Amino acid sequence: MTTNDYHKTMTRVRIADLKSHLSEHLRKVRSGHSLTVLDRDTPIARIVPYEHNGASLRVRPPLPGAPKLQHVPLPPPLRLQRDIVDLLMQERQGER
């Protein structure tokens, strides 16, 4: 399905189609089109053309006094009496 907008065309594509024709869809995005990714009929993401505004990504050093990563304590483990995979599966089934 294609929707015409004032300046651009937005195409809706299902996940399976995006996976099987990724290069083709990315060529459309490169040419200025936007894609809305659908999980079944639910929009979940939008892929838009990259706009280079001249600002490049800059990695900054850690702040003075920040601890080294290996010295940052981990949070305590969760004390669950249930299987975490079972909880995730129940959550995912609720969305479908």
pLDDT tens sequence across 11-50: 899 999 999 999 999 999 999 899 999 998 899 999 999 8
Q: What is the distance of C-alpha 17 from the center of its chain?
A: 17
Q: pTM for this one? A: 0.47
Structure tokens at 71: 């010295």
Nearest 5°: the CA angle 93, 75, 58 is 90
Structure tokens at 40: 């079944």
Sequence spans of domains, the chain: 1-50
Distance CA 91, CA 96 (A): 9
Average pLDDT of the segment spanning 55-67: 85
> Which one is the CATH code of 1-50: 3.40.140.10, 3.40.1620.10, 3.40.50.150, 3.40.50.1820?
3.40.1620.10
Pairing of strands 2-4, 9-14: antiparallel
- For the beta carbon of residue 71, count every other beta carbon within 10 angstroms: 7
With beta carbons less than 8 A apart as the criterion, state whether 9 and 3 touch: yes
